[in-house]
Structure 1
Amino acid sequence: MINIHKISFILFSLVILICSCVQALGQNPPIDQAIAQHRKGKLIVKANPGDKVIVKQLSHEFWFGAAIANGLGSGKMSQEDLNQYKSHFLKNFNSAVTENALKWANMEREKGKVNHLTVEGILNWTEENDIPLRGHNLFWGIEKFVQPWIMELSDAELEATIKNRAISIARKYKGRFVEYDLNNEMIHGNYYEDRLGPDITAKMAKWVLEGDPEAQLYLNDYDILTGNRLADYLAQIRELLAQNVPIAGIGVQGHLHGSTFDRKELKRSLDSLAQFGLPIRITEFNMPGQRSKFHKDTQLAMSPEEEKQSAIELVDYYSICFAHPAVEGILMWGFWEGVNWIPASSLYTRDWQPKPAAHAYQKLVFDTWWTEKTGTTTTTEGQYSADAFYGKYQITVGGQTRIISHKKENGATTIDCSTP
């Protein structure tokens, strides 16, 4: 009988070996240096001379997240899968985004019948587990995703209905969503602008902020990191900024490649987007992606060689993004075959077995990019310092433990644990 776990472990070992060989050839050091520069800072502990210091990372500041499927909030997932889904989410991710729950067409299929149940269920769970949640999305003007009843409205009725949704959603969920995708995928289609004119997105933003003045509004679009629509996106961002649209950040989807991706184009695209000085999130990541055979045929299974290669692709993609100073997070668009639009891109099989990509991802995020150190303060100054990834830490000195935040915006963090 074939031992699936043994095969998975062997494949994972091969992935690590290949990655090590690449590093030995000198292709990784620039990325490693950039990661050290942009994702680490000095963690300085002051204590009594000779004290033992234990530094244990609890979580990353950088968002390593995933989309949350409707089933978690709606109650339409089996209890066994729901338990597994929640457990594996918490094991792998520190942030989240609603996959479909907040979309207008999902919430209000029929005029006036607004379903908040799924959104509330997801929010309640993420809040219970201290997981920041993105709201995807408030509006989506790709015509095939616009409800028929909206198209039947007059222009005046349409604008009033948009205003009502913007204000009511922002007001109802004030302070609960960390950020929103305002008007999704506008360079690919914008029904609302076609109907109501080029200033409708600015009006949407104004109305959302009327409902929640602290709301953070992101753009979000696809085929940007491939370079194919980068120029269009840059032009649109400039135009919206010229209109004084309060853009808080730039969202770029990470699944328009095939079974591999162009490393240089990803880096070039991120560099180009960084010119605006806004945070960048990779909002929807899959590997393999939308241009792969695995999206064309979702029943197609990967060969062992393809599983191994996909793990390498994931590691490289995440490494390039993590090394870039403007990027503040990456969110997978599905991690379990049971609810993933590209099942082959999942970390876990339908029966919750980890794939090689899961092992590679976990080693990267919770081993390679993780800080756990033990040392002793100097006998003269009573100080211990370590280069540490930004995030939340447990610091133990002399049997006393403190939880602290080590933030990128501060660079260095100093904790005084000395006793009189």
Structure 2
Amino acid sequence: MRTYKITSLLVITSLALFSRSYGQKTASLKDSYKNDFLIGTALNATQIEEKDPTAKVLIPKQFNAATPENIMKAEVIHPGWDKYNFDLADKLVAYGKKYNIRINGHTLIWHSQLPAFMHGMQDADSVKQYFTNHIKTVAARYNGKVFSWDVVNEALNEDGTLRKSIFADKLGPDFVTEAFRLAQAASPDAQLYYNDYNNEQPAKRAGCIALIKKIQAAGVRIDGVGIQGHWRASNIPLKDIEESIVEYSKLGIKVMFTELDLGVLPNPWDGDAADVNMKATYTAKMNPYANGLPDSMQVKLTKGYEDLFKLFLKYKGTVSRVTFWGVNDGQSWLNGWPIKGRTNYPLLFDRNYQPKPAFDAVIALKK
């Protein structure tokens, strides 16, 4: 069996505390980092509607920012050409107001999870009409109610070129700039962000910087860039992340880590990815921790989060928000992507909402 060197007393102490119950004495992430940056989480419908009693207590205590997992994506909020479904999005806004949690709208324009009527649409004028009406209608409804918008999500390929999508194909390469222009007009009180994965990697980062400069050169407002942060605990690209914080900040914009999780399972491909359309076949070898995470991996996860938050704190004047993509391990999309039926452990709270050693490591940095 391979052994791992435990690098600090902090990790040993955290492992000893792993079995404690969540309660009033548990520290608060948002309070610990209140002078540094917002601490956010992704919320699902059950959590937004406060149907989970444990989450109802934990979320307002731990987080001061929230992003909806799916309920503001186009297939949910705009299911028919002239039909919008604002029910859950309105509940999310009310939830944020109730608990003083800043809401990040996610997302206005994305090539994935589009409504069914968009599938196979060939007419460029129809795509343009959808594009314009969708942004105007949704962004305007929540002007002054959401703190920020992920205006465009995942528009780039890994080499930094523009991704082939229905929007790029029918509207041309300036569709990203136009999306920000429309969002700025419809929701002038919201912060406007571009969001992507792997845009801390040099080639994609260069493409992202070029995209942001193009928006700025057109006289259109863009307030920040989101680096999703879907990394593996054993392979966090800390050097690339730091270089990206520095390079993006030179553009005069904020930097956020918008969908943070640290997977611990084997990757079926070389390198990291976060394309929801990528799939792989289940094998037992690809699901090694179905019965629990061994201490060796718990240590890696803890060290990974510790290293990341040290870096975030180093640039706390530039990093404005860190959002985890889910509240607890059971909620994580990584249990079903890219292979369905796996058991992953990528977040700070376990499947019973208990704080993990990684939680203690993140809190300890502020003590």
Question: Where on the TM-score scale, by shorter chain, does this alignment land: which range?
Answer: 0.7 to 0.9
Q: Does 1:63 align with 2:14?
A: no
Residue 269 of structure 1 pairs with residue 219 of structure 2: no
Where do residues 282-293 of structure 1 align in structure 2 (5 Å cutoff)? 282-288=257-263, 292=267
Deviation larger for 99-108 or 172-181: 99-108
- Within the candidate set 301, 313, 317, 1:322 is matched to 313
- Residue equivalent to 2:151: 182
Change (3 A) 1:205 1:224: closer
- Aligned counterparts, 1:90-169, within 5 A: 90-142=60-112, 145-150=113-118, 151-152=120-121, 154-169=123-138
Secondary structure of the equivalent of 2:322?
strand
In structure 2, the CA distance between the partners of 1:356 and 1:84, relative to structure 1 (3 Å rule), is: same
* SS in structure 2 at match of 1:183: strand
Gap regions ≥5 residues in structure 2:
1-5, 15-30, 158-162, 275-279, 281-285, 335-343
Tell me how far apart the structure 1 counterparts of residues 202 and 265 of structure 2 sit (CA, whole Å). 15
1:7 maps to none
Amino acid at match of 1:359: D
After superposition, the Cα gap between the structure-2 partners of 1:202 and 1:289, relative to the gap in structure 1 and judged at 3 Å, is: farther
Provide closer, same or farther for how the CA distance between residues 58 and 66 of structure 1 changes in structure 2, counting only shifts above 3 A: closer
- Whether 2:328 is the aligned partner of 1:336: answer yes
Q: Who is 2:302 aligned against?
A: 311
Deviation at 1:185, TM superposition (A): 0.8
Which amino acid is the alignment partner of residue 348 of structure 1? F
Aligned counterpart in structure 2 of residue 229 of structure 1, from 204, 207, 225: 204
Structure 1 pair 229–200 and aligned structure 2 pair: CA distance change class (3 A) = closer
CA distance in 2: counterparts of 1:197 and 1:58, whole angstroms: 42
Q: For residue 256 of structure 1, report the CA deviation from its aligned partner.
A: 3.7
TM, length-normalised to structure 2: 0.76
Q: Which has the higher contact order (CA 8 A, sep 6+)?
A: 1
Q: Is the 8 A contact 1:256 1:289 kept in 2?
A: no
* 2:208 counterpart of 1:214: no
Instruction: Answer whether contact 2:180 2:220 (CA < 8 A) is retained.
Output: yes
> Structure 1 residues 58 and 258 mapped into 2: Cα distance closer, same or farther (>3 Å)?
closer
Offset of residue 257 of structure 1: 4.2
Change (3 A) 1:70 1:290: farther
Looking at structure 1, the residues matched to 265 and 190 of structure 2 have their Cα atoms a distance apart, in angstroms, of: 31
Q: Deviations over 1:45-104 (max 9, x none)?
A: xxxxxxxxxxx989445111111122223x4x7x3xx12112121232221212211111
Look up the SS of the partner of 1:361 in the other structure.
helix
Secondary structure of the equivalent of 2:41?
A: strand
- SS across alignment from 1:345: coil
> Which has the larger strand fraction?
1
Confirm or deny that 1:201 pairs with 2:201: no
Q: Which of structures 1 and 2 has the bigger CA Rg?
A: 1
Residue type at the aligned position of 1:318: F
SS in 2 for 1:229: helix
In 2, the alpha carbon distance for the partners of 1:228 and 1:17 equals 40
